[in-house]
Amino acid sequence: QDYKVRVKTTLPNGMSIEIPFSIKIIDVNETPTLITLTKDSIPENTMDSVVVCFLSTTDQEGGINFKYSLVSGQNDVDNQAFGIYKNGLYLLKSANFEKKEAYKIRLRTTDIGGAFLELPFTIVVKDVNEKPVIKVESYQIPELSPPFTSLGFVTAKDVDRNQILKYKILSPEMPFIIDSLTGNLSLVGFVDYETKKDYEFWVKVKDTGYPLLSDSALIKVSVLDEIEDDVLPSADLVSPNGDGRNDTWKIVNVELYKDYALTIVDDYSQEVYAVSGNYTNDWDAMYHGKALPDGIYWYVLRNNNNGKYFKGYITVIK
């Protein structure tokens, strides 16, 4: 902008003169005064290279052609986590509130005349509720266990802080209960190996965040066979004819009886088989290399430690 003025000068004798002047204002580039972010927070778990915000500059001279950059200086500790394209500020890797709650950066804006302004900023990471995850495990319970025997704990992991996890068995009519707060899985009632060897049921865990999130897992429980006093779980027939069925006398889960001695006699009480322990389901109705005749044979399976025993008969039919 130019200013036009007229200057008059008067001499002592009264004579005067007026002269017009034109004053021209020369513009001097001024430093920007403010950097503004459209927002200064970002939710966690966003995609890599997501735009955090857009930048703008306040400059007395106006204009829109500003160059932005991340620069060293006070508050620059997290500059490496960001990038700038035109006036967009990008986060290069997804934010994780549980690992880092805020980023500190230092920004510079430079106008077309080379004048610049640097300012520190803090970008806050917003916590987002994340679902808990159940650890899938298998459990075992001996069949003679009394009610409320603990099988162990169903566990879940939640990366969010100060969450309370609550557990629940989804499958009805199961002989198990779970503590809603601790995840302790316990027997309620009884189980019987001979009736049902395995159980499968769904367990759900939910958190207390917003929104409420949950996870479910299929839990497997195996019932372990135990020695019961009333009856020996064994075959009552041996047919050693080589057809692959009933060729030997078998005890269910025979390894449970490794400390038992087995004696088998015929109808005349003549011993035809004996082993002091670790019977392996291998008696094939042979005696000294010869096949025993068809008929009834009697067994006694006796515990070598406490004297408890099972007795019964075996029918041999070829």
Considering the entire predicted model, what is its pTM? Answer: 0.66
- Tokens describing residue 61: 């001279």
CATH number at residue 270: 2.60.40
* Residue at a domain's end among 224, 253, 273: 224
Average pLDDT over residues 107-122: 96
Q: Is position 21 within any domain?
A: no
- Does the residue 147 lie in any domain? yes
- List the one residue out of 152, 151, 177, 179 whose CA is nearest residue 167: 179
Within-domain flag for 214: yes
**pLDDT tens figures, 182-222:** 999 999 989 999 899 999 999 999 999 999 999 999 999 99
Specify the 3-state DSSP secondary structure of 118.
Answer: strand
**Do 165 and 147 fall into the same domain?**
yes
Given a contact cutoff of 8 angstroms between Cβ atoms, the answer to whether 138 and 220 are in contact is: yes
Q: Are residues 200 and 218 in contact, defined by beta-carbon separation less than 8 angstroms?
A: yes
Task: Give the per-residue pLDDT at 308.
Answer: 92
- Cβ–Cβ < 8 Å for 287, 273: yes
The rounded mean pLDDT for the chain is 93
Statement: residue 101 has pLDDT above 90: yes
Counting the structural domains of the chain, the total is 3
Q: Residue 287 pairs with which residues in a beta bridge?
A: 290
139 shares a domain with 184: yes
Together in a domain, 94 and 154: no
Rounded Cα distance between 115 and 138, Å, is 68
Task: Give the domain CATH number at 75.
Answer: 2.60.40.60
Q: Residue 273's domain spans which residues?
A: 237-316
Within this chain, do residues 121 and 137 fall inside the same structural domain, yes or no? no
In-domain check, residue 217? yes
Residue 14 has pLDDT above 90, yes or no: no
Task: State whether the Cα torsion 34-36-41-42 is positive or negative.
Answer: negative
Which of 108, 126, 144 terminates a domain? The answer is 126
Residue 24 lies in a domain: no
